[in-house]
Copies of this chain bind each other. A is one copy, B any other.
Amino acid sequence: MREVPDSPLQGWKPPDYEVDGDGKVVGAGPGPEHNWSRFGALDQRGTFNLLTPERVAVAARLVRSGKRFSLALPIGTPTPGGYRAEPLHLYRFAAGDAVLGSGRGGRNPVSDDYIVMALQASTQLDGFAHVGEGPTLYNGYWAGLVTAAGGAQRLGIHHLATGIVGRAVLLDVARTHGVDHLAPGFAIGPDELDRTCEAQGVAIGPGDVLLVRTGHLGWQRSQAADERAARSHDHAGISTRAIPWLHEHDVAMVACDNAACSVVPPEPGDAFLTWHVAALRDLGLLVGELFDLDELADDCAQDGVFEAMFVAAPMPVVGGAGSPLNPIVIK
């Protein structure tokens, strides 16, 4: 076998902090805009806490026609701009096997199937174990609490099992710009958000679920023949400049029709994960990625109603760092 070079090493010195019995890094603090301790010193849910029963009840009252939309990408067709290996869907036994005399259900054709997938491979929710900075994750929990052996010992996605239920507001930035899709690299700052709210005549309030449409995902899916475009990671998305806006408006969640929610490549001065750190680690903000918003957006453009009930329940993987999501919007 030809040589596989050893990865270079650089030595290691133990860090200079300690971790307390709650799993918090002693003395560590968040960035300027943050929700640390806001929902309790041991909170593991961040802005999920904003989804109070009262707001859920209000959201349910937004349902009028009962028309519903799935914002999920199908699992089994190529994921536009995805960062992970494609999910692998395999049959353990298939109904057709019975026709050939080797089925598993005696005279009955039966099927059972498996999935092997990155929990962040398709339409998904980031968990708070997904991205941190320095030694900390959201609310000051130590990054070292997340390991292969233990999973996310704190901040696991299963803490969000009761589902993200609330008022969704579609902000169709692309349509407001009069374009099919915003150009890759286009950064959506606070002005864009305000301008879209105004153009659509909607106001954003605490606990809202923002669905921010760039048009990118639909466009990228249509580029399948242009392999380079189909696989590019560049896309329009939320700017780090919008973080204070998201905090002030106290939204529960922000989701985009792109792979990273934030703009890629990042704006000058930002690193690739700057936005994620501000959103996940500091705000404890629910972040959705690869949301397919086109069908909903067409409907909203037609009836002029940009708010609806939103329900998205993650897979309650104990100690998980993310989850595929099939978000349902009900108008």
Contacts and interface: CB of A to CB of B under 8 A. Distances in A.
Given A56-B330, A154-B6, A119 B110 contact: no
Contact of A95 (B86, B112, B129): B129
Contact of A151 (B10, B89, B151, B165): B89
Interface stretch (A14-22, A174-182, A189-197, A247-255): A14-22
Interface string A126-146: 010111111101000011111
Nearest to A23: B9
Given A99-B143, A100-B99, A110 B19 contact: no
Copies in the complex: 4
Interface residues of A, number: 135
Interface stretch (A29-37, A47-55, A234-242, A258-266): A47-55
Contacts of A96: 96-97, 100, 102, 143-147
Contacts of A324: 315
Interface of A: 1-2, 4, 6-7, 9-23, 52-61, 63-77, 84-120, 127, 129-135, 137, 142-154, 158, 161-163, 165, 218, 221, 271, 273, 277, 292, 294-295, 309, 311-322, 324, 326-328, 330
Given A59-B66, A89-B151, A93-B149, 13 more contacts: A1-B326, A7-B153, A72-B313, A72-B316, A75-B318, A76-B318, A84-B112, A96-B96, A105-B273, A113-B321, A115-B117, A161-B326, A314-B326
